[in-house]
Structure 1
């Protein structure tokens, strides 16, 4: 992938992984637009990085996606990179019912629906500019962490969607890349960082490893421990699944915690 002279849009770029990529791409001389839900946070980022373009937009809202697409196409006609990064992760206890059946689909609506809708909304300009789609998936697409079951399912869905998208766009000159990070130290993984035996990298290290693979032309990027998890999933699936369950079990919300509303306290990138 060409890493300079691009016009890039990164969803969920106001914090964590998205912001780390935005800073690095800006440093390399690209024009970078980031979106996020929180205008105050975007204002702070803009003050720190004046050359960064910021737009308030929520990938959970189809109307906001439509408005974003219209604005970006008008103001940035050279857009040629879309990084679908925004996501939410919830700790879930599947062994008990919930009265909030709509809320139960939050992660699906954002993590999967947001990627699918954003890709569709921008596919015309990306095709016209022979651009690149980068979908931020996860090593958990291969080996789920059972305390976040729906989140992991969304990443498996994005892995499958990205493969199909790549095939359908191969004759259109559009690159389709999937980045599958290991555990990364962000606001979204604060609780998981306490798990026994879990190694985490920081966002800047993820960016460094990812850019190395992008320069080499990789289309499916599994930085650091993510590659080992994918290998273990093929070699000894029962063993690696059980190991993650041992680490994750302590984070499954108890009945008492669910009664206080902890189920609906999302960690949202963007």
Structure 2
């Protein structure tokens, strides 16, 4: 996809991977609108020349705000990047509201935005939907069952949507990051990829028109899974 001169919407674009995607797209000649929940971060993005939309994507009102914010605009690139983690304890109902927020943000919101913004995307000569999932969509870790479930669900949706839109002018790409140093992973041990390097691989994939981008160490996980899904699951469940 030739991104120059195009209009992009990046959800969760005021922090982490989304912010880096927005910055790199802007540097490549893209007009970028970002969404987020933090007024302070959105002001900082606006000062850098980005359009901004405030909205909590775990709420229908937040999704409505995003759709309203781009209505009538020549949207050519939708990057569904916003995501949250989830506390969950088996047998503890008090963790269910947090689980619901994770499901709504990570799975329902990308589906809703792709659905509601598709007419605008289809009106362009070429357009792309990018759904940012995770290497954990391939094989889950035991410490994050809800997060992993949302990413696996979004991966399935992405693959099916790609098939449904195969004869249209809208490409559907999945990006699968590894463990990346962001506010979401703060406090986690282990080697992490930088958000900037992760975003660079995703942006290159968008420009190349790829259907799937396995980022960083996810390439190794994908290879392992292709050889032995059971082995990949056994390793990742303890991760």
Matched, 1:2 2:9: no
- For structure 1, list consecutive stretches of 5 or more residues without a partner in the other structure: 248-270
The alpha carbon displacement at 1:44 in A equals 2.2
Is the 1:65–1:121 Cα contact (8 Å) retained in structure 2? Answer: no
Residues in 2 aligned to 1:218 and 1:150: alpha-carbon distance in whole angstroms: 28
- Whole-angstrom CA distance in 2 between matches of 1:215 and 1:34: 19
The residue aligned with 1:71 is 69
Question: Aligned equivalents of 1:138 and 1:101: distance in 2?
Answer: 22
1:45 and 1:214 map into 2 onto residues whose CA distance is 22
- Structure 2, unmatched stretches of 5+, are none
Paired with 2:201 and 2:69, the residues of 1 have a C-alpha distance of: 32
Residues 185 and 63 (structure 1), Cα distance of their counterparts in 2 relative to 1, 3 Å cut: same
Return the alpha-carbon distance in structure 2 between the equivalents of residues 78 and 8 of structure 1: 9
1:179 aligned counterpart, secondary structure: strand
Q: 1:79 to 1:214 in 2, by over 3 A?
A: closer
Superposed CA deviations along residues 190-219 of structure 1, whole A, max 9, x for unmatched, are 132x1xxx4321011112222333333311
In the alignment, structure 1 residue 125 sits paired with structure 2 residue 123 = no
2:220 maps to 1:222: no
Q: Flag the structure with larger Rg.
A: 1
User: What is the TM-score normalised by the length of structure 2?
Assistant: 0.92
Deviates more, 1:236-245 or 1:57-66: 236-245
TM superposition shift of 1:73: 1.6
Work out the CA distance in 2 between the residues paired with 1:64 and 1:166.
25
TM-score by length of 1: 0.82
RMSD: 1.7
Query: What displacement does 1:100 show?
Result: 4.9
Residue 114 of structure 1, aligned match among 106, 109, 125: 109
Distance 1:101 1:93, change over 3 A: closer
